Amino acid sequence: MLSIGIGEIQKNSSIFSNLTEAIQIIDKRKRQVLAMVYPVENVSTIDKLAGKYKNRVNTIESNIETIKERAMQTAMEEKYGLSS
């Protein structure tokens, strides 16, 4: 576990973006532990929530803009009866 002072965080806040292990933030004057910071675990939401059905869930590798365009196209087709 790493120990980092407040001044070091103010000088270099990018410490948190590349965090691989727990960090202990301390006040060096008072010699007190102020906070503990742990790295974020990258766990798939599908794996976490689906339980025994996680193998049946289809994941989509599209970006959000493509999904929005398809949803708008489908809504317009239903509303106006158009087909492309």
Distance CA 80, CA 34 (A): 60
Q: What is the pLDDT of residue 32?
A: 92
The identity of residue 4, as a single letter, is: I
Give the residue, 3 or 82, on which the prediction is more confident. Answer: 3
Main-chain dihedrals φ then ψ at residue 35, nearest 5 degrees: -160, 160
CA distances from 10 to 16, 22, 35, 80 (A): 12, 18, 15, 56
Percent helix, strand and coil across the chain, each rounded to 5? Answer: 45, 20, 40
- The string of pLDDT tens digits covering residues 5-51 is 988 888 988 888 888 888 999 998 998 999 999 888 766 666 677 67
| pLDDT single digits (tens) 52-77 | 776 776 766 678 888 889 899 999 88
- What's the pTM value of the predicted model, to 2 decimals? 0.46
Domain range summary for the chain, segments of one domain joined by +: 2-37, 45-80
